[in-house]
Amino acid sequence: MNDLQALSYITTVAGGLLLWLLEGVIPFFSGRAARGKHATKNLSIAGINLLILLPAGPIMAMVLEKSKAVWPGVGLLKLPFILETILIILLVDLWMYVWHRLNHEVDFLWRFHSIHHSDPSMDVTTAWRFHYVEIALSELLRLPVFVLIGAGIEDLLLYSMLMTPVIAFHHSNVSIPSSADRSLRTIIPSPLMHRIHHSVIRAEHDSNYGSMLSFWDRLFGSFKLKEGIRDMELGLQNESSPEKQRVGALLTRPFHN
């Protein structure tokens, strides 16, 4: 498990750095200035979230280990190990879809999730820009879901290792051929799909909720495409001005609205 966790951290850092460098060479949205300042701001918010995530990991591992002795979840199906692992990964990704959609449809949750969406210069660092209250609620609410599924901490580490590069990629400002995007979105949420999800237009950003797999959006009717988006405005109306994009303003805004 320690090796899997270390590998997950390595792929996250290495993949994020590679995508950030590629954004400077082959950007989709051109004319981005002060990329270093933008990354510092988003990663500062991510650093605050680590204060929640680091202690939450061991607690979750302990709870899941003890709960599996009482309730095996999908283990009741007596599936071969590989099939059981695949089923758990699918169910965890389904929960991620549901949770993401709830963050858009429940006003209280949107209050915090909107901090992620207010970024007018979405790039790979936006993938880690979430309000600390959203992170805390996510950790709290997903624990009983994982207990019900019967997921072990090793399943969650494997899912994280698979999911995190996908999320970093579809948030990135890297330009890829349209044909590649079309092929990718048959399996994962592609950059085009997720750029639409970050559109300033509410009807567009209330779509394409998938984290690792794209078929949940097709299955539940939230899949949306839109071509010719190079001039599309990102962020949120009235929330993406420079003074509202300071770290302090972002962290306190949900408590003022």
Q: How many CB atoms lie within 10 A of CB 183?
A: 11
Tell me the Cα Rg of the chain.
18
pLDDT of the chain, 257 residues: tens digit per residue: 467 677 778 888 899 999 999 999 999 999 888 999 999 999 999 999 999 988 888 899 999 999 988 999 999 999 999 999 999 999 999 999 999 999 999 999 999 999 999 999 999 999 999 999 999 999 999 999 999 999 999 999 999 999 999 999 999 999 999 999 999 999 999 999 999 999 999 999 999 999 999 999 999 999 999 989 999 999 999 998 889 999 999 999 999 86
Q: How many CB atoms lie within 10 A of CB 252?
A: 11
Q: Where are the domains of the chain?
A: 2-255
Nearest to 215 by CA among 190, 233, 180: 190
Question: What pLDDT is attached to residue 2?
Answer: 60
Phi then psi for residue 46, to 5 deg, are -65, -35
Question: What pLDDT is attached to residue 9?
Answer: 80
Phi then psi for residue 231, to 5 deg, are -105, 10
| Predicted structure pTM score | 0.94
